[in-house]
């Protein structure tokens, strides 16, 4: 089959690899009909995630048709149309039983690697390095999916692939980022980063009852999409003092909820940004937390900072004293996709939202390297790339 493989920083290639085979009686094989490039894939593309190896198949946002199932699979059968969650649950461990699916204790066969890095191992992820299980990813023609009865969401309506694909990752991620903040009537929600996750966080904030949503970015096309499709107040951080503008918009208090939808490769300006960039380039710091620092400083006293943006290691100059003395609540982590996807599918079917509004580029799988370059460098107003085998 054809699949996108990693060959080094900013070097990905579509190559022929062996077709996946059932490795366990609980597996299924999915024929991919649509997949996407996620913002967190760019961290892999930039070579920032350890334990990624040459030849690894990338991609964790995909859906398709069930081609084959193992003898112990009961809840899905050949021919079913399914969206696959990006993180892999077993359904039976301490964490899965508590709906903490991204923390599954049994789906990461390389748990020791992750434990060394994080103190404990999260769930396995498709196409996201050996520290997260080493599973071949979904930017391919076929994918082996373990624990098949658990790791699928059936699509039994005539909704298009583009409408439902994102419940397996970015829509669920943006929604959870807001949901964990316990939005109250009258709340103001500010979101740093108007990429796909940020846009879905803005939409989700409205769904969950926020009075006002504020979008912070520097790309005009993203801020315009946030304004027109998410009913957000835009702030260009290159033209404004973000914290001062947020105070003006919130009677001097700051937003009730601040969401960092940027993560470890945040852009910025000034001495602190270049300090982070140099330290990251020479390996002295894993992440650039520009947006996170600003979210903590901007959030009102007693407010909540939510972090759906991906972080992978230590960060420097984090204003923990501000978080402590303002009494902030911090929420973060990989998305518990299985908890949210079914309800989001219902919202889509009811016409409450059409997630395809974020798609700007549609390419064939063979064009995936071009897609990564466009997405990485924000060329052609790129916000989201969908690939089809």
Task: Tell the residue number behind the tokens 């696959």, with chain if given.
Answer: 84
Decide which of 285, 315, 332 is a domain's last residue: 332
> What mean pLDDT comes out for the span 377-387?
96
| Distance (Å, whole) CA 307 – CA 327 | 17
pLDDT higher than threshold 90 for residue 267: no
pLDDT for the residue 314: 81
Q: Are residues 125 and 46 in the same domain?
A: yes
| Distance (Å, whole) CA 160 – CA 371 | 21
Tell me the CATH number at 321: 3.40.50.720
> What mean pLDDT comes out for the span 19-36?
98
pLDDT for the residue 272: 62
pLDDT for the residue 68: 98
Q: Are residues 341 and 326 in the same domain?
A: no
> What mean pLDDT comes out for the span 314-320?
87
Q: Are residues 60 and 102 in the same domain?
A: yes
Q: Are residues 257 and 161 in the same domain?
A: no
Q: Are residues 314 and 350 in the same domain?
A: no
CB 154 within 8 A of CB 80: yes
> What mean pLDDT comes out for the span 110-128?
96
pLDDT for the residue 263: 86
| Distance (Å, whole) CA 185 – CA 91 | 34
Q: Are residues 84 and 160 in the same domain?
A: yes
Task: Tell the residue number behind the tokens 């107040």, with chain if given.
Answer: 233
Q: Are residues 175 and 162 in the same domain?
A: no
Listed in sequence order, the residues at least 6 apart from 270 whose beta carbon sits closer than 8 Å to its beta carbon are none
pLDDT for the residue 280: 59
Average predicted confidence (pLDDT) for the chain: 94
pLDDT for the residue 208: 97
pLDDT higher than threshold 80 for residue 277: no
pLDDT higher than threshold 70 for residue 268: no
Picking from 48, 40, 10, the residue whose alpha carbon sits closest to that of residue 285 is: 48
> What mean pLDDT comes out for the span 68-79?
98
Q: What percent of the chain has pLDDT over 90?
A: 89
Q: Are residues 24 and 85 in the same domain?
A: yes
Instruction: With cut-offs at 50, 70 and 90, classify the pLDDT of residue 48.
Output: confident
CB 207 within 8 A of CB 182: no
Q: Are residues 206 and 269 in the same domain?
A: yes
Provide the whole-model pTM: 0.95
Decide which of 332, 356, 371 is a domain's last residue: 332
pLDDT tens readout for residues 323-372: 999 999 999 999 999 999 999 999 999 999 999 999 999 999 999 999 99
Of the candidate ranges 83-92, 190-199, 286-295, the one whose mean pLDDT is the lowest:
286-295
pLDDT for the residue 275: 52
pLDDT for the residue 236: 97
pLDDT tens readout for residues 152-194: 999 999 999 999 999 999 999 999 999 999 999 999 999 999 9
pLDDT tens readout for residues 91-110: 999 999 999 999 999 999 99
pLDDT higher than threshold 90 for residue 380: yes
Q: What percent of the chain has pLDDT over 70?
A: 94
Decide which of 332, 348, 370 is a domain's last residue: 332
Q: Are residues 130 and 213 in the same domain?
A: no
Tell me the CATH number at 368: 3.90.180.10
How many domains, the chain? 2
pLDDT higher than threshold 60 for residue 279: no
CB 45 within 8 A of CB 37: no
pLDDT higher than threshold 80 for residue 283: no
Q: Are residues 288 and 317 in the same domain?
A: yes
Instruction: With cut-offs at 50, 70 and 90, classify the pLDDT of residue 271.
Output: low
Report the 10 Å Cβ neighbour count for 212: 18
pLDDT for the residue 286: 57
By residue range, what is the domain housing residue 116? Answer: 2-169+335-388
Instruction: With cut-offs at 50, 70 and 90, classify the pLDDT of residue 265.
Output: low
Task: Tell the residue number behind the tokens 């920032």, with chain if given.
Answer: 48
pLDDT tens readout for residues 132-156: 999 999 999 999 999 999 999 999 9
Q: Are residues 328 and 378 in the same domain?
A: no
- Specify the 3-state DSSP secondary structure of 344: helix
């Amino acid at each position: 089959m054809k699949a996108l493989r990693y060959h080094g920083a900013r070097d990905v290639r579509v190559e022929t690899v062996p077709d996946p085979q059932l490795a366990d009686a609980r597996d299924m094989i999915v024929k991919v009909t649509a997949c996407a490039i996620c913002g967190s894939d760019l961290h892999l593309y930039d070579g920032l995630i350890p334990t990624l190896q040459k030849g690894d198949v990338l991609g964790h946002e995909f859906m398709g048709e069930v081609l084959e199932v193992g003898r112990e699979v009961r809840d899905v059968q050949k021919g079913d149309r399914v969206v696959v969650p990006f993180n892999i649950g077993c359904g039976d461990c301490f964490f899965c039983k508590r709906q903490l699916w991204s923390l599954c204790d049994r789906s990461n066969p390389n748990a020791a690697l992750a434990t060394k890095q994080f103190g404990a191992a999260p769930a396995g992820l498709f196409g996201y390095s050996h520290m997260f299980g080493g599973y071949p990813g979904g930017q391919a023609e076929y994918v082996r999916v373990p624990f098949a009865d658990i790791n699928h969401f059936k699509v039994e309506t005539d909704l298009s692939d583009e409408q439902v694909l994102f419940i397996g990752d970015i829509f669920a991620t943006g929604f959870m980022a807001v949901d964990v903040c316990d939005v109250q009537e009258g709340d103001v929600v500010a979101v740093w980063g108007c990429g796909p996750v940020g846009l879905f966080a803005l939409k989700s904030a409205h769904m969950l009852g926020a009075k006002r949503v504020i979008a912070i970015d520097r790309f005009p096309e993203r801020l315009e999409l946030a304004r027109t499709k998410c009913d957000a107040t835009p702030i260009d951080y290159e033209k404004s003092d973000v914290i001062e503008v947020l105070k003006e918009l919130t009677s001097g208090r700051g937003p009730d909820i601040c969401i960092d939808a940027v993560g470890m490769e945040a852009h910025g300006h000034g001495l602190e940004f270049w300090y982070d960039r140099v330290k990251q380039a020479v390996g002295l710091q894993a992440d650039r937390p520009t947006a996170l620092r600003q979210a903590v400083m901007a959030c009102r006293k007693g407010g909540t900072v939510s972090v759906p943006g991906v972080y992978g290691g230590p960060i420097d100059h984090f204003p923990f004293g501000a978080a402590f003395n303002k009494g902030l609540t911090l929420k973060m982590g990989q998305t518990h996709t299985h908890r949210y996807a079914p309800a989001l599918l219902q919202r889509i079917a009811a016409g409450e939202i059409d997630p395809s509004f974020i798609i700007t580029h549609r390419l064939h799988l063979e064009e995936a390297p071009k897609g990564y370059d466009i997405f990485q460098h924000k060329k052609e107003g790129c916000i989201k790339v969908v690939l089809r085998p």
